[in-house]
Amino acid sequence: MSNKDFITNYNRFSGYLWLVIAGLSFITITYKIITEGAQTWLPYYIVPLMALLMYFTKKWMMKRMYRHLQQMAEQKKDQEV
């Protein structure tokens, strides 16, 4: 397996991991609010919000990295010609 394939798979996995963390924490906090009350658990909604922020930041950075790699490949191709 090449290094590029590993990095691509890792980035895809870590992105989905943040979505799973966001979903599970949202469900857990909502359950706790229903069973125990919002007074204690309402501030914990910051956890799924931060996980979603991490997911979208990861997605944005990966698009940025791929565009940069394509630009570098084009520059290298232009220098060879």
Q: What is the pTM of this model?
A: 0.79
pLDDT score of 9:
87
Q: Is 51:21 a contact under the CB 8 Å cutoff?
A: yes
Distance separating alpha carbons of residues 19 and 70, to the nearest angstrom = 27
What is the share, in percent, of the chain residues with pLDDT greater than 70?
A: 95
Nearest to 18 by CA among 62, 72, 71: 62
Give Cβ neighbours of residue 55 (< 8 Å, ≥ 6 apart). 15, 18, 19, 22
List the chain domain ranges: 3-80
Tell me: the pLDDT tens digits for 35-52? 999 999 999 999 999 999
| Dihedral sign (CA 64, 68, 71, 77) | negative
